[in-house]
Structure 1
Amino acid sequence: MEVPRFDQWSSGEFDAVQLARSIVSKSKDIETAFYVIDLDDPPRKLKLWREVLPRVQPHYAVKCNPNKVLLKVLVGLGIGFDCASRNEIRLVLSLGADPQKIVYAHTIKSPTSIHFAREKGIRRMTFDNVKELQKIKEHFPEALLILRLRVVDEDCYTMTDKFGCPPEDIPSVVGAAKNLGLNLHGFSFHVGCQSEKDRTSVTALQVCKDAEKVARQFGYTPKLIDIGGGFDCNKGDEQTFKQIAGGISTACDSLFPASEGYEVISEPGTFFVGSACSICAMIVGKRYLRGMTQLYLNESVYISFNRALFGDSHIKLQPLKGSEIFDKTSIGENLQPTRIYGVSLDGIDRIIPCWQLPEMEIGDWILLYNQGAYSEAIESSFNMLDSPDR
């Protein structure tokens, strides 16, 4: 199915529900879920970013959502890109991205991948161990290296057991870079996805400052600080982002003042695309079990709702035949406990555990908001289910 483009309704405002209803009403035979994408959302997010983090140059994390239409919008905005593989690099370059605005943000790279980056003129890349330095020395000795530091936030999804140089290893790793004659360009960290605590980033910035002092002892003068990602900002949640960003901005100015030549960048993904995409899905099954309504969608955690496996709290839904928006906090006399499953044969394929929702029937459509992050990017072929139209 070719999904119609939305080119502004008379109100001048993007209305995902209105567009979804129009698609469903005009295409009675559709049975596949589909995306509704607000292409004006990323520009709005960039405007907000520049208002509250004017010094921090965003590099969109391609892994979050590699949708070409969204990437074209982001390339047009002139921001940078965080790429973690050769294919991600190829993709953004094919869409016109500037190689000098790309960070090869993976601390473990194959020799051929390092050589590929060299061929494409992508000098900035991350590392966190001595073995990686040895590969870089052989295949790209003029690279501008960013040492990823280990920072822990217990309250969010984090990868620090897998990536990041522990503070106690910084002297030996920096010393190895010096002995190999490599360019230590700066430091990076990633506090974790969906972190809502500016204190964690502020603590991480202090770790970067301590690492910089070590680097200076070896004769380096690193001037780049990469504060990673983990930022979220769904529509209506701007105040939370502003609060977090305010603390980070103050810490950056204090520890790494622009007057001393420091450059600060970041790697946001969800921030730019999370609320840009909604998914319209159809109810294809219904039953009752022990006092609870169970609905089955033509979607799945194996297609677009992978984040539901990690307790995604950002889902909001709206039945197309109604006007109310529901989330996990909804209550009301005409609502009933409802669990929403994906259509795969895996028992863990549960999109919504138990919300109070109105009565809905097979054939009804619902719109699920805030589904732009780690949806299309993580889609699998399990059960060979139909992918949503885009």
Structure 2
Amino acid sequence: MNGYLNESNFMMVEEGFTTRDLLENLLVELCPAVRSDQQAFFVADLGDIVKKHLRFLKALPRVKPYFPVKCNGSEGVMRLLAELGTGFACTTKAEISRVQSIGVPADKIFYSSPCKQVAHIKYAPSHGVRLMTFDNEVELSKVARSHPHARMLLGIAADSSPSAHLSMTFGTTLKSCRRLLETAKEQDVEVVGVSFHLGSHGPEPQAFAQAVAAAQLAFEMGTELGYQMYLLDIGGGFPGTEDTRARFEEVAAVINSALDLYFPDGCGVEIMATPGRYYVTSAFTFASSITAREELPLEQPGSEEEESDGKKSLVYHLSDGIYSTFSCLLFDSPCPKPQLHKRPCPERPSHSSSLRGPPEHTEDHIAEGLELPELQVGDWLIFEDMGAYTMATSSLLGGRPRPRITYAMSRLAW
């Protein structure tokens, strides 16, 4: 943490100074030299992450958080969470290497990918990482050959809702658990617990109770086969914006009740979770400039009056797109409604507007059907709640540098 003070992209701010205030100050510095090639940037309130961490520990006192690196691998977030004492859920050997490079011990690393490359599995034991997950025989065999001292969590698909079958949810069915546990026994693989993940898009609170109940059944199967299982991973899916705080509290209450019923305190089972969006979504605000605009013909106006009311159909190209920051849209995240840096005149009409990435990528569609006042090249749009899946998957396609991040923290949070 002390290293932040030496970083050119870290700012200590007074209490009450908001992320939007800092962002506005940065834009004031940029706007005198308005250019169409201004690079997009983030402002990250690290104090918001501290607040979320304390809220998580208070709401779920038995649950140890492991932050999924793929959700937001920025240096500031990683170092802060390491200082706060969270564990880390990694999906590749590169992620394992990153968290270990900032001093995270191997026993706080969960190799959480359900489908691992053999080379990455072999990397784990050489760096002391033992905790992994599996949900099929192929994965089990790979681990048995390449990491015989691994501690495995059996991944179960606990959500039986119709929408779950339409998603990329991993995990085996309860019917298959015994067969997989027997196979693990035959291959001398140590299974230490059960894992489930209900998805990242706001599962109903009661779904957590059902999943914990299913996990308890899987624990019973393991016990019958002679396993000493002591770890339950309840995954992620915790909401991360300020307007969903009440929902988070509701989810936490349901989880606590289910744990008290199926895994009561003192039963010897430790509880962990992998909250990603919860920690970082609201901490990051993003600013991107308009680099080009197009005016499209209106489709089938309903009357002559509509033709003459000044309405337009406009397309704005931003300095960033789905191959970088807006890659979050590929994870089914909704695009936050943009806010205008410059306050429009009340009498200015709104127009049907679309947002797209740089013009050279014709398929780079960010948002459609927005109602915005007429904007110009060089204007800035501001997007809040942009901390999750906005940088871990970003590329340097087209030679564009990744958006700069300016970190801020209030003295009170520090």
Under a length normalisation based on structure 1, what TM-score does the superposition of the two structures give? 0.90
SS at match of 1:305: helix
- Whether 2:30 is the aligned partner of 1:15: answer no
Greater relative CO, 1 or 2 (CA 8 Å, sep 6+): 2
State whether structure 2 residue 396 is matched by structure 1 residue 360. no
Q: Contact 2:292–2:359 (CA<8 Å) still a contact in 1?
A: no
* Contact in 2 for aligned 1:155/1:195 (Cα 8 Å): no
Query: Which shifted more, 134-143 or 315-324?
Result: 315-324
What residue number does 1:380 align with?
395
8 Å contact kept, 2:66–2:273: yes
Shift of 1:219: 1.2
Letter in 1 for 2:211: A
Tell me the distance in 1 between the aligned counterparts of 2:283 and 2:163. Answer: 25
1:296 and 1:340 in contact (8 A); partners too? yes
Larger Cα-atom Rg = 2
Q: CA deviation at 1:383?
A: 3.4
How far did 1:382 drift? 3.4
Aligned twin of 1:321: 342
Within the candidate set 292, 296, 300, 2:313 is matched to: 292
1:159 to 163, 168, 171: 168
Within-5 A mapping of 1:103-252: 103-152=110-159, 153-155=161-163, 158-160=167-169, 163-252=170-259
Looking at structure 2, the residues matched to 345 and 293 of structure 1 have their Cα atoms a distance apart, in angstroms, of 18
C-alpha distance in 1, partners of 2:271/2:223? 18
Q: What SS does the corresponding residue of 2:129 show, helix, strand or coil? A: coil
Query: Cα deviations across residues 37-69 of structure 1 (Å, max 9, x unaligned)?
Result: 111121111111112111111000001111111
Deviation digits for residues 241-286 of structure 1, max 9, x if unmatched? 1112221221122111122111110111111111111111111222
Work out the number of aligned pairs and report it: 379
Match of 2:354 in 1: 339
**Contact preservation (8 Å) 2:91, 2:111:** yes
Contact 2:209 2:254 in 1 (8 A): yes
In the alignment, which of 54, 59, 62 is matched to residue 55 of structure 1? 62
Structure 2: unaligned runs, 5 residues or longer:
1-6, 299-311, 406-414
1:1-12 correspondence to structure 2 within 5 Å: 4-9=9-14, 12=15
Residues 211 and 91 (structure 1), Cα distance of their counterparts in 2 relative to 1, 3 Å cut? same
Aligned partners of 1:35 and 1:278 also within 8 Å? yes
Taking the aligned partners of 1:73 and 1:227, their CA distance within structure 2 comes to 23
Q: Distance in 2 between matches of 1:356 and 1:373?
A: 25
Do the aligned partners of 1:146 and 1:184 also contact (CA within 8 Å) in 2?
A: yes
Q: Contact 2:41–2:288 at 8 Å: present in 1 too?
A: yes
Q: Distance in 1 between matches of 2:93 and 2:198?
A: 24
Aligned-pair Cα RMSD in Å: 2.4
% same residue: 29
TM-score w.r.t. length of structure 2 = 0.85
CA apart distance, 1:136: 2.4
Pick which of 255-264 and 103-112 moved more.
103-112
d(CA) in 2 for partners of 1:71, 1:210? 35
Contact 2:240 2:280 in 1 (8 A): no
Cα distance in structure 2, aligned partners of 1:302 and 1:240? 32
Which residue is equivalent to 1:329?
none
Measured against aligned partners, the alpha-carbon deviations of 1:121-164 in whole angstroms (never above 9, x if no partner) come to 2221111122332332333222211011123455578422xx32
Q: CA deviation at 1:309?
A: 4.4
1:303 to 316, 320, 324: 324
- CA-CA distance at 1:386 after TM superposition: 4.1
Following superposition, the deviation at residue 293 of structure 1 comes to 2.6
